[in-house]
Amino acid sequence: MPNIDNIRDKSDKELLEELSSINRDLLDLRFKLETKQLANSNEIKNLKLNRARILTVINERKILRS
């Protein structure tokens, strides 16, 4: 699980790429959950937390720019 400081050190482009990757992974995990192939459902929770952290940093930067 990435630390918020590690997320803040990344560029905007890296954050958007990571956000895209997380969204794809979440979709895959949801399908696995519905088909009973997911062994650890905490993975979904962890990805959602990481997505929220990334979105928070992106929004902080938008606010600072305006």
Query: What domains can be seen in the chain, in order of their start residue?
Result: 4-65 (1.10.287)
Q: How far is the CA of 11 from the CAs of 8, 25, 64, in angstroms? A: 8, 21, 15
pLDDT reported for residue 33: 95
Mean pLDDT value across residues 42-52: 97
CB 47 within 8 A of CB 22: yes
pLDDT reported for residue 3: 87
The model's pLDDT over 10-44, given as tens digits with 9 standing for 90+, comes to 999 999 999 999 999 999 999 999 999 999 999 99
Q: How far is the CA of 45 from the CAs of 31, 41, 66, in angstroms? A: 15, 7, 32
